[in-house]
Structure formats: structure tokens, C-alpha cells
Structure 1
Amino acid sequence: MVGGCAGQLPAGAAGAAPTQAWRSDQGDGTYLNPPLNADYPDPDIIRVGEDFYFVSTTFANVPGLTLLHSKDLVNWDILSHVVNRLEGRPQYDLADGGAYRAGVYAPSLRHRDGTFYVAVTPVGQSTRIYQARDPRGPWTFVELGQELFDPALFFDDDGTAYLASAIGSDGTITLYTLDRTVSRISGSRVVHYYQGAEGSKIVKRDGWYYLFNSIPRRLGMTVSRARSLFGPWETRASIDDTTGGHQGALVDLPNGDYYGFVMLDAGAKGRVTNISPVFWRDGWPIWGTPEAPDRVPARAPKPIPGHPFREPPASDTFASRTLGLQWQWNHNPLNDRWSLAERPGWLRLKAAPGDQLWSARNTLVQKGQAPGGRGEVVVDATGINPGDVCGFGTFGKFSGQLAVAGQPDGSRALTMRVTEATERGPVVDTRVAALPLTAERLWLRTDMDFRTERATLSYSVDGQRFTPVGGTLPLVYDWRTGTFQGVQFALSCYNPGASGGHLDIDGFTLTPLP
């Protein structure tokens, strides 16, 4: 949908901070969509004073529900995660096939009287309301006793709390009233019906209530309006994936203007969030500009000028005693199987239970970035034991793992393994026979090119000359059998036995593809 190339800045942007793989802020008062060219799906964005907050789906990844912060809707940084650990189902610990494509998704973010609230429904569990005075946490939660699909939290002008819920297989939109403590449902009422509607969000402006719904069957969005939350509602079609996206709503600026945010299905990188100017016609919000209505612009003036370039972290030296906020585990981790303290300046991944990547505990991931990114790690394989498979690569529908494998005789070899997630379970393809290794220090590289939707894995013994291994592998987004996320970078170490060793990683670096 958008043009532009990572790292290329317009005149006047000289001296700006370098980008990782994508730069939205062009340094001349304009930005490119999407502001974050990576998988940040099911967005909900609010403003509190002069600060914007953005919460996003993370499924089974831990910590979960990423919360970002911005001053201008363009330059974002990761602030925290709402959920430290997933509780209540053994699948969150990778039992019974795990919780890929489940977990937590479609969160709703609101603020009232100095408290931040996030409503979310973990798959198969009751809806939860998380709250915190500080968006950095700590967050606590209560359960409402019902499983409400895609809950949309809304506080009216008098402080009354509501949740709207609709599931696309039906389209009936039910409004639930909550008590003042936002911890109990006190009533419910069907307020609207629109075939296929889900992903509801409610915004109020000038005495009108606006209800936004995603219509997944046609990858489009509707907007409805009414003078009362209980209807009657008048509904119009809005934008769709050919013009910008299909799930989102509005956020107001300090000056009273409005911008739209909307999710777009974008291939192997996953689902991105676009930010769009909005203008009003006869009391209806129109995405885009009067000159180009009903379309999210590829490039537009920044909503609020003057704020500097920022981006979520990606590269990591592992010098801290805590993992960077860009990292997540594939499911709940085994905390005794990893360390940042045992070898300061290194991440130590101890072999966790698993016989192949898809079912292995403690795989550490972060989002791939479009249009293309090169991830590189330096590893020390001294601690590899027989049976260990420890390495670096991609994680998704197809997961490519360039790994050091401990051999029965105590030697080590390099292997390339591809795991395909299917309806019958994961299928492992060992691309190359084990290549004997004598070096203890290796450079492992993963190139993801989302323009061609292919990845290449390679290694080096000197950090200069890299050798590709196993050919290319596909980058695929698949909500049916994959992770329901864009392809991620993955660090892993597992062993089907009980005598595993460890892999030490001396930093991760992400740069644009050459």
C-alpha cells in the first residue's frame, strides 16, 4: 500500500536517528503509513492529556498485551505489557499442543479518573478488566463471570461503564452495563444488529455515540451513530482493506481534531495499524481528506508536529538484568531455564523440554519488521550438550531454525530445520545434514524480506563471510494453523532429554536489509 524505503530520508532530515528496518517519520513534517511496519493487530488507542496509548493483541506470547506510548501518533515506543503471565489453562504452558492462535486478543483500552483500564477476554475464559494507576504497571484484574467476545469498554460522560460485544458469526451487538467499580455486570441489552459485525469500539462526540465494527467477511469496517447508546443506530459502510483497513476507531487530539486508526491485513508481516486524518461530513467521520476521501493516505502531515523520532527497541546487548520490552516468550517460560545474570552481558538459554521448535518451551521472539530486516546474533556454543538443538531463525507458519546440535559423541554440528505448522500437527523438515563444527563462537544471521516473503539463514565463523544454509524458506502469515501473527525472529534451545546444556548469546542486532 505504501512506498518508501527504510533508511532513506528526505532533505532536511539529515542527522536524524537511524532506523532499524522502517521509518515512518520522514523528518519533514510528514509520515508514511503504517507508523509501525510490523504486526501490531487489533489496535485500541486513547489520549490522556498530551499522551497517546496504544494496546495490541499478543495471543499466547508472554508477557502479553503490549502497551505503547506516543506524543504524536507516529513515533511510538513500548511502555509496558499488561499481562505478565497467562493463567487458567494448561495450554499456556504448552500442554496439549499449546495456545497458539489463542491466549489474549482484541483488548479495549480506556481511562477514567486517573486509572487506566483494559478489557480483554482470554480464549475460553471469562472477560477480565485490568486496571492500573500507572500504565507501566503493576496491573491487577477482576473477572466478570461471562465470556464476552471482543469486549469494547466505554465510559459515558457521567462515568457509567459499559461493555459492547459482538461476534462476527452472528452480528448481534449487546451492551452490558457495569457497576461503578468496573468489576461486575449489572445489566445487558441487545442494542443493534449488523450481519458479521465484531470488534466493536465506541466513541462519543458532540452528543452523538459512534459505534465502529469490523466486518471480517468482507475485510471492511462500518460506522454507526445514535443519540443514545441503546439506539436506534444508523449504519454506514466505511473503509476496507483495499482503502486502508477493517478494524479500528477514532482518537481525538488536544486541539479537538480527530484521527482514525485502523488495522490492515498485510501478508507475512501480519496485521499493521494505519493512522489516518479524519474529516466530518454531515456528522459522519470520513477517513482521509476532502481531496481524497474514504482512503487512508500513504503519506500525510504528522498529526502533531515537532516531536522527535522514536521507535520501539529491537537490537539488544543483553547488558541489563531484565529482558528488553521487545522480547516475548512463545508461551509461559520456565524461568529457571534462562538467565541474564549467570554470564553478564550474555543471554543464556538453557535447553528446555521439547523435541522440535513448535512444541519447545522458552523460545524467545520479537516481531519481524517490514519491508525487510536482518537479524544477527553472536553465540557461544561451548555449553551445548548431546541432544541439544539451539539456534536462531524465524517463527511462524513455517519456522526456520539454524541451530547448533549436540551430537551423541560430544561433538557439535550445524543444522537447518524447517517446521511447518499444519492441521495434523507440526512437520519437521531437516534441510541439510549436520555440518561439523569446530568453532565455538558463531555468527548466525536471519534475513527476512517481506517484499518477496522469503527468508535466508546463514552463518559465519569470523563475522565477515557468511554462508547461506538450506536455501530460502517462505514467510507466511496463517491464522488457521500458524501463530496468527506476523513472522517473528526466534532464539531457541531445547532438548527432548533431561541432560541439556545451554547456548550463550552475545547480543542481537537488527538492521535494514541491504
Structure 2
Amino acid sequence: MSERPPRNKPAANRRDALKSLSLGALMFGGASTAQAAQNDCKAVVAPEWAKGVEGQRKPDLGNGYFLNPLVAGDHPDPTILKDGEDYYMTFSTFEAYPGLVIWHSRDLVNWRPLTASLTKNIGAVWAPELTKHKGRFYLYIPTKKTDAPDSKTTSWVIWADNIMGPWSEPIDLNLTRHIDPGHAVGEDGSRWLFLSGGDRIRLSDDGLSTVGAVEHVYDPWRYPDDWDVEGFSPEGPKITRHGDYYYLITAVGGTAGPPTGHMVIAARSKSINGPWEHHPKNPLVRTESLSEKWWSRGHATLVEGPAGDWWSVYHGYENGFWTLGRQTLLAPVTWTNDGWFEFGGGDLSQPIKKPAGGKAHGHEPAHGYALSDDFREDRYGVQWNFFAPKPDEASRIRRENGVLHLKATGEAPSSSSPLVCVTGDQAYEFECEIEIDDGAWAGLLLWYDRQLYCGLGFNAKNFITHQYGIERGRPANPHGKRLHMRVRNDRHIVSYFTSNDGVNWKRFDRGMEVSGYHHNVRGGFHMLKPGFYAAGKGEVRFKNFKYKAL
């Protein structure tokens, strides 16, 4: 187990949390419920996280410890690669394009985005695999065409000789019945993709095509029938070779649904060809109580730390904040004398000692990046993404003298792909100066998908509110074709503000509550993202996008 720092902080915070929990319990469940809440309080109250650029939360506490999430906000299905002193990581990006942003670290705690590796829309990107073989980088990418009549599933490969690219065009591997490819190299040098359901297929020596047919090689460990899960769903296989064994880590139980469903199991074999022996302590990771800080924890990968110790990255939903999507978590791993490994960190609600031997990676800020954008530099693909863009969608954007010009398309946000970005904060606000052409309308959004979003828009005459993905006409717009707009999302309570000058603000007479804008309501595995849109005719000009964590 990892070391914990002295608990020198949260007495006042804990008392406030107890008071809040007790009051809520008395209102909704009586004194016995209040007592139960007090009994569970230690499990749900965590120390405050560190604040980085713009007040965004970051993992490094600055005292030799870190606090999860490792990468806040929607960064699910992490795939991590150790390449000498460098670590690279990317995540599922679903309908966001450009996608598969590569992140870099040298200490496993502080991470910065580098570049988007996937620019061509090949479908909703699920659980990729980043690997390096004989000096070349590969990304194996499962996708699902959610807008196709047959919802086609397949997997692709792209490659690059430099992590910064250029990355190749996607090559279809025609794996129509499987997801989540995990790359492995056998003891004889053969290359394989392990797939969902305990299957695998051989790769050609260059890793760009498959050889032969899919074969079933592993029957995953099965949980008791009375556990609350979403479904068996063996997926996310990851292979690590360590010592005399290959270790196969798999997720089962479903990635969402009941918070106790998703889990991590493992097996090992002395050959890439099996047979596979179940870990005697399966499941190695599982949310066991609704009072835990992190729900639906799973989809793990092992990685060696800078000083030779071992760690794992996986994902989980934050208790009370499904809207932030699945966030990346970091946990210590300990190898045992019998050749197995165990996960440490508990439910990851408390600080953990940082991996030893890490170095600064030379980026500023040390972790994350500013979301405020004056539009003088091109952040398309690293910060800004279109949702399910058309092949020529990028041609809608033009930047000039600190102004982002966006061509208006469609009749509503749902038919005009918005530009959105990921945030990991529980409470935040963002604002922008917006100017529209005649015939255009635009605004700021909190976007889940084409059927579920909210926000405030305007044209030259009226305001429009977006509620539950429905457009509603509102009172006259006194600002005309140019105004400043602000959206505040304070732990799911959404309010809007407008201004002529960006100094004197007036609150708009409509608000929202958006805690239900998440996967278990709508599906899709997304998060609620801040962004903006331009619909109608002509163009819309955006200036000085400002973000601030609250």
C-alpha cells in the first residue's frame, strides 16, 4: 500500500460536510438516515485538490503527494506508453474530432497535451491502444459508426515514426465483432491483438493487417450472480510482460450502469498462447459502496514508474458528477512474492505519495492547459473539437487578429456541429464576446450530444434558450448583433448572463439544472462540455473566450 500524508486539514470541511449531509438526511430520510450519512462521511469527504491554471484542479499537491483524478474530466479508457524517460497517454474521444490527443509526462502525475493524432472522422472512437514496436508508434482504434444504419463496428490502425506525427491515414482491420484491441508481442516475436470477449487475432509483422481468423483463448473470471452490474462485457484487454509471465488485465461488469458494476480482473500465463490462470484475488479493483468517491472503476493498464516501481491507470466516474464523464485515475501496484500483483490506494479519495524518480517535463503550466483562448494561436484539435464533424467541417474556421470566424450552418446546434472542449471542474464559468451577421444566430452551450444540450443563443432580434436539446424563443434581444455572454455551471446549477461591455452583467431570466445530462440517462459515453455554435446564414465572430474554475 502507498504512504499517506498526515491528516492535518479537513476538520472544518468535515464538520461542514456532516452538517450538510445530516440536514439533507433529516429532510428526506429521517434521523436514522442522518446517522447513516454521518457513519459514511469518512468515505466521501476528500481533501481539497490543488488548483492550477485558471483555478482548474490538478493532481499534484506540491508536497510530494497527489490526489486523483490524474486527468480530470472526460478522459476514459486510458492507454499509456513508457518510452524511455517519457510517458505518453491518450483516451477514448468518441465523436470529438480531431481526436486521440496525445498527452506527455515524465513523472506520471503532471501531464500536458501535445497533439491530436486522428483527424479523419472514422466513427465514435472507443478504448484505443497506444504502443511502440521497433521504433514505430502505433494506435489501434476501435470505432462504431453511430450514424450508420448498421452501426458498423471495426478497428483501425494508424502509425507514426514520431509521436508528434505526422500520423498515417487510418487502415481498416475489419474486426467487425470486437472492440478494445490490446497489442502484445509473443515470446517468439509474433504480434497479436487481444480483443473483447477473451479473443485474439494475429497481426502481420508490420502491425498493419491481420493474419488468419479470430480465436477464443481466454474465459474471463466471473463475478457472483448477485452482484449489481451492468453486464458481463469482458473488454479492454491489456497485456503486460513482467518476469516469467504475461499478465492479461480485463474489465468486466459493464462500464457504466450500477456504480458497483465495472471492475478489474487479471490472469497470467508463461506463454502468449496460454493457458491463462485467474488471479486468486479477483476482482482487483471494484467500487463496493455508493459512498465511495469514485464509481464504476475499471479498464486498467499497468505501467512501470520512473524509479522502477509499478502503477496503474484506469478510469472512474466521480460520485455526484456523472456529467464530467469517466476521469483518469492513478493507483500504486505492488508485486507479490508469488508473482502476482495487487492494487493499492483504496477508493482513491485520499492523497497518495507520488511516484519516485520523476522529472519535470519542461512544459508550462506543469499540468493541463489554460482553457481561456484569445484565438491568436491555433488550438483546434488540442483544445477545441467539433462534435461528429463532416469531412470539410474544419473549413468553417478562420482565425484573424484575435478573432475566430465561424461559418454558420444548420438551423440549430443539433444540425450545426458546435466547437466544444473538456473541463474537469465541478463548478466553472465561461464567457465570450460574440458578433453575428444578419441571418445568423449563435451562443454558448453545455453540450452532451445532438439530443441533449442546454445554453443561451441569440439573433439580431431575440434570445433563444436551449433546454433539453429543444430551442425556445425568448424575449427581445436589446444588444443587437453583438454582445458578451457568460454561462455559469455551479455544480449542475446553470445560469446565464449578458453584457454590452463585458464589465456590467445582467442575469438572464432562465436557469437550468443539468445533473441528469450523462450516459446513464442518454447513452453515448460523453460528458457535458462547454462550447459555442453558429447556425443560420453568414458567419459569427467569437472573441476572448474566458474560462474560470469557481
How has the CA–CA distance of structure 1 residues 158 and 415 changed in structure 2, closer, same or farther, with 3 Å as cutoff?
same
Aligned to 1:285: 341
1:6 deviates by 5.8
From 231, 252, 269, give the equivalent of 1:215: 252
Q: 1:113 and 2:142 equivalent?
A: no
Secondary structure of the residue that 1:66 maps to in structure 2? strand
- Asked if 1:71 is matched to 2:110, the reply is no
TM-score, normalising length: structure 2: 0.78
Counterparts of 1:21-170 in structure 2, within 5 Å, are 21-87=56-122, 103-123=124-144, 124-140=152-168, 141-147=170-176, 148-156=178-186, 158-166=188-196
Tell me, in whole angstroms, the C-alpha distance in 2 between the residues paired with 1:337 and 1:254: 42
Match of 1:409 in 2: none
Displacement of 1:106 after TM fit?
0.7
1:94 corresponding residue in structure 2:
none
Q: How does 1:33-432 map to 2 (within 5 A)?
A: 33-87=68-122, 103-123=124-144, 124-140=152-168, 141-147=170-176, 148-156=178-186, 158-166=188-196, 172-187=197-212, 188-194=214-220, 195=222, 196=232, 197-217=234-254, 218-235=261-278, 236-242=282-288, 245-266=297-318, 267-281=322-336, 282-288=338-344, 294-296=346-348, 298-304=350-356, 305=358, 307=360, 309-321=366-378, 323=380, 325-333=382-390, 334-335=392-393, 338-341=396-399, 343-353=400-410, 355-358=411-414, 360-381=415-436, 383=437, 385-386=438-439, 388-396=440-448, 398-406=452-460, 412-420=461-469, 428-430=470-472
Measured in 1, the distance between the counterparts of 2:131 and 2:327 equals 21
Provide the residue aligned with 1:472 in structure 2.
512
* Distance of aligned partners of 1:302 and 1:322 in 2 relative to their CA distance in 1, 3 Å threshold: closer
Q: Could you tell me how far apart the structure 2 residues matched to 1:366 and 1:322 are?
A: 10
Pairwise CA distance, 1:418 = 1.6
- DSSP 3-state at the match of 2:323: helix
User: What is the distance in 2 between the residues matched to 1:223 and 1:321?
Assistant: 42
CA drift of 1:484 comes to: 2.1
Q: How many residues are matched? A: 457
**Normalised TM-score (structure 1):** 0.83
- Aligned to 2:352, what secondary structure does the other structure show? strand
- Structure 2 SS opposite 1:42: coil
State the 1:325 CA deviation: 1.3
Separation in structure 1 between the aligned mates of residue 183 and residue 546 of structure 2, nearest angstrom: 38
Task: Specify whether residues 79 and 453 from structure 1 end up closer, same or farther in structure 2 by C-alpha distance, changes over 3 A only.
Answer: same
Aligned residues of 1:174 and 1:190 also touching (Cα < 8 A): yes
The separation in 2 between residues aligned to 1:284 and 1:241, in whole angstroms, is 21
Q: Which amino acid aligns with 1:153?
A: H
What is the one-letter code of the residue matched to 2:467? V
Deviation of 1:115 (Å): 0.9
Retained in 1: the 8 A contact 2:494–2:513? Answer: yes
1:454, distance to aligned residue in structure 2 (A): 2.9
CA–CA distance in 1 between the matches of 2:167 and 2:194?
Answer: 22
Provide, for residues 26-57 of structure 1, a one-character-per-residue CA deviation record: whole Å limited to 9, x for no partner.
11121110122110011111110111111111
Q: Which residue of the partner structure matches residue 434 of structure 1? A: 475
Does the 8 A contact of 1:337 with 1:352 survive in 2?
no
Give CA-to-partner distance per residue, 1:253-296, whole Å, 9 cap, x none: 2432110111102311000010011112232221116xxxx543
Worse overlay, 124-133 or 150-159 = 150-159
Cα distance between partner residues in 2 of 1:257 and 1:7: 24
Kept in 2: contact 1:21–1:372 (CA 8 A): no
Alignment partner, residue 90 of structure 1? none
The answer to whether the 8 Å contact 2:79/2:89 transfers is yes
- Structure 1: runs of 5 or more not aligned: 9-16, 88-101, 167-171, 407-411, 421-427
CA RMSD of aligned residues (A): 2.3
Report the Cα distance in structure 2 between the residues aligned to 1:200 and 1:327, rounded to whole angstroms.
30
- Greater CA deviation, 228-237 or 102-111? 228-237
Between the aligned residues of both structures, percent identity stands at: 24
Provide the C-alpha distance between the structure 1 equivalents of 2:535 and 2:72, rounded to a whole number of angstroms: 31
1:21–1:302 CA distance, 2 compared to 1 (3 A): same
Whether the 8 Å CA contact 1:455–1:472 is kept in 2: the answer is yes
Give structure 2 stretches of 5+ with no counterpart.
1-43, 145-151, 223-231, 255-260
8 Å CA contact 2:112–2:368 kept in 1: the answer is yes
**Counterpart AA for 1:261:** V
Distance in 1 (CA, whole Å) between partners of 2:486 and 2:273 is 55
* Aligned AA (2:94): F
Give the C-alpha shift of residue 473 in structure 1: 3.1
Deviates more, 1:332-341 or 1:25-34: 332-341
Q: 1:402: Cα distance to partner?
A: 1.1
More helix by percentage:
2
Q: CA deviation at 1:125?
A: 4.5
1:492 corresponds to 2:524: no
Supply the distance in 2 between the matched residues of 1:159 and 1:349 (Cα, whole angstroms): 50
Matched with 1:11 is none
